[in-house]
């Protein structure tokens, strides 16, 4: 089968790889129909995620059709259409039972990390009963792909950890797919203001269409002053960091109001100074989280009800066979006006 294989920092290729087989009774084999690229995959390719070894098939998002199931899988059957969650959950360990499936003792974020992932024609999904979601009749396939990772990540790591409340002033630093997913799901709570900060006017335009109330292009490095002016010197109640570099986390620290919440979502590859010399007395909370994907059923319902329209986050479409071009487009997101890129795996000829 065709698959996108990582060969160390900066190196990847589309290759023929052996089709995966069921290894455990709790596994399912899924024929991928649509998958996508993630900012996390770019971090892997930068060398920021050392757990990913050479030879690994990347990808942790996608939807597909069950091809085969192990003997102890009871909730899914061959032919079922499913969402593959970016988080694999055994459902039984202490972390899973606390709802912290990201740290599942036998799973967590393993797809496209420590086991082969979804940027391939087929993927083996461990703990299928508790790691897949059935796709309802009448759904839009492309919208379903957004439920693998970015919607639960934006919602759980950004909005829930940031404790967004009615009337809050929320700043989202980074208007990429994850920042925009945080924007879409922050609106559940009717904050007064959602300020989007990015250096890309196209992304800010998209944010405006999706409901951001104020936009700041930080190309001039003056976002802090602009936000303090907008908030009458008070700062923001919630700062969601959706980039993953020191400068953006530092901006969160400089704009947070007393009592506020800094919710980190970005994948960081280097250390960031923590300004306790100013923050120690400010009653703020800083949270970090790897998505647990425990809100996927809730988000699926809101998508099916038409209250959440994640398809707006999709900018490009390629066949899986053109995944290398898709990576080039995604890596030059500003030039290409790229957000989420859908890769389609055509069904085999009858
Ligand atoms: Zn992802
Ligand atoms: Zn577990």
Q: Token match 């069904």: residue?
A: 347
Residue burial 320-331, b: 16+ Cβ < 10 Å; e: rest: beebeebbebbe
Q: How far is the CA of 280 from the centre of ligand 1 (A)?
A: 33
pLDDT for the residue numbered 193: 98
Reported as a pLDDT band with limits 50, 70 and 90, residue 325 is: very high
Residue 348 has pLDDT above 90, yes or no: no
Q: Which residues contact 345 (CB under 8 A, 6 or more apart)?
A: 31, 32, 33, 34, 35, 64, 121, 319, 320
Is the separation of the CB atoms in 81 and 139 below 8 Å? no
**Mean pLDDT, the chain, whole residue set:** 96
pLDDT at residue number 347 = 66
Summarize the confidence of residues 226-238 as an average pLDDT: 97
Question: pLDDT digit string (tens) for 99-143?
Answer: 999 999 999 999 999 999 999 999 999 999 999 999 999 999 999
Q: Is the pLDDT of residue 269 over 90?
A: no
Whether 350 has a pLDDT exceeding 70, the answer reads: no
pLDDT at 349: 56
CA 39 – CA 48 distance, rounded (Å): 12
- Find residue 15's DSSP bridge partners: 3
Query: According to the model, what pLDDT value does residue 154 have?
Result: 98
Average pLDDT over residues 193-208: 97
**How far apart are alpha carbons 303 and 31 in whole angstroms?**
23
First to last CA, the chain: 17
Least confident stretch, 23-27, 47-51, 64-68, 187-191: 47-51
| pLDDT (mean) for 244-260 | 97
Ligand positioned closest to the Cα atom of 96 = 2
Distance from residue 148's CA to the centre of ligand 1 (Å): 8
CA of 85 to the centre of ligand 1 (A): 10
Q: What per-residue confidence (pLDDT) applies to 48? A: 84
**CB within 5 A of ion ligand 2: which residues?**
90, 93, 96, 104
Query: Domains along the chain?
Result: 2-149+292-344 (3.90.180.10), 153-287 (3.40.50.720)
Tens of pLDDT, residues 77-107: 999 999 999 999 999 999 999 999 999 999 9
Structure tokens at 93: 């360990």
Tell me the CA–centroid distance for residue 130 and ligand 2, in Å. 9
How remote is the CA of residue 90 from the centroid of ligand 2, in Å?
Answer: 4
Instruction: Name the residue among 119, 7, 110 with its Cα closest to residue 51.
Output: 110
CA 277 / ligand 1 centre spacing (Å): 34
Task: Give the mean pLDDT of 246-263.
Answer: 98
């Amino acid at each position: 089968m065709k698959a996108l294989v990582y060969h160390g920092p900066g190196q990847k290729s589309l290759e023929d790889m052996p089709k995966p087989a069921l290894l455990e009774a709790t596994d399912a084999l899924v024929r991928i129909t649509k998958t996508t690229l993630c900012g996390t995959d770019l971090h892997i390719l930068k060398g920021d995620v050392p757990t990913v070894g050479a030879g690994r098939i990347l990808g942790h998002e996608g939807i597909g059709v069950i091809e085969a199931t192990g003997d102890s899988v009871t909730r899914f059957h061959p032919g079922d259409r499913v969402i593959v969650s970016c988080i694999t959950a055994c459902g039984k360990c202490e972390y899973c039972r606390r709802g912290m499936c990201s740290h599942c003792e036998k799973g967590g974020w393993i797809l496209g990390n420590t086991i082969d992932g979804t940027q391939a024609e087929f993927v083996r999904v461990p703990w299928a009963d508790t790691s897949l979601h059935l796709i309802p009749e009448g759904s839009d396939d492309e919208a379903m792909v957004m439920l693998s990772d970015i919607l639960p990540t934006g919602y759980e790591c950004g909005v829930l950890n940031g404790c967004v409340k009615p009337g809050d002033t929320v700043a989202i630093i980074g208007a990429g797919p994850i920042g925009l997913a945080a924007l879409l799901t922050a609106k559940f709570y009717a904050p007064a203001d959602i300020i989007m900060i990015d250096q890309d006017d196209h992304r800010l335009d998209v944010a405006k269409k999706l409901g951001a109330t104020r936009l700041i292009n930080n190309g001039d490095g003056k976002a802090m002053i602009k936000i303090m002016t907008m908030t009458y010197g008070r700062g923001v109640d919630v700062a969601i960091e959706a980039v993953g570099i020191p400068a953006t986390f530092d901006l969160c620290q400089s704009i947070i109001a007393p009592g506020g919440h800094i919710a980190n979502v970005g994948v960081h590859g280097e250390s960031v100074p923590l300004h306790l010399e100013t923050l120690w007395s400010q009653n703020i909370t800083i949270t970090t989280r790897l998505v647990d994907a425990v809100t996927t059923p809730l988000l699926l319902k809101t998508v099916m009800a038409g209250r959440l329209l994640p398809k707006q986050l999709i900018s490009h479409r390629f066949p899986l066979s053109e995944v290398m071009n898709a990576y080039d487009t995604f890596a030059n997101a500003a030039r290409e006006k790229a957000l989420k890129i859908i890769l389609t795996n055509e069904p085999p000829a009858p």
